[in-house]
Amino acid sequence: MKEFLKGAAFLVGWVLSPLTWWNDAFVNIPLSYLIANIVFYCAHIPLGWTLLIGIYWFTNILGLCLMYLSGRSVIVSSRHKIKATVFLIVFTIIFTVIAVHLEKRGKLMPIGVFFGKPCATKTK
């Protein structure tokens, strides 16, 4: 059972981690946007910063931590670690710049806006 839980934790960590090319587009950004909307409507915290700091960066870090803690015996070569780290840093910076730009221009909206529900608070 312990090995199964370690394997499941590693799988969840791998899906959340930035070590796959599809992670951000199909997992972290949609998941972050969904959770940020829940936080926005429940706690009235600005959407942009919740999306970036609280959720997007957190999901990437959580994925890496889960992989590390559950798969210490799985060792990736140094070349791949460096490549993955550089990719993570570059993509995180790009996404952060885009999200901040959209937030400043007023284009980053809660999901309710698309369904005709007015914002409860301002996003800025």
Name the burial class of residue 1, with classes exposed (0-12), middle (13-18) and buried (19+) by CB atoms within 10 angstroms of its CB: exposed
Q: Would you list the DSSP string of 25-87? A: IIIIHHHHHHHHHHHHHHH---HHHIIIIIIIIHHHHHHHHHHHHH-TT----HHHHHHHHHH
Q: Domain coordinates of the chain in residue numbers?
A: 2-115
Measured at the CA of 91, the angle between CA 65 and CA 9, to 5 degrees, comes to: 20
Q: What is the pLDDT along the chain (124 residues), one digit of tens a residue?
A: 888 888 888 888 888 887 777 887 888 888 888 888 888 888 888 888 788 776 788 888 888 888 878 876 554 555 666 776 777 678 778 888 888 888 888 887 787 777 776 665 544 4
Tell if the pTM clears 0.75, that is, is over it: no
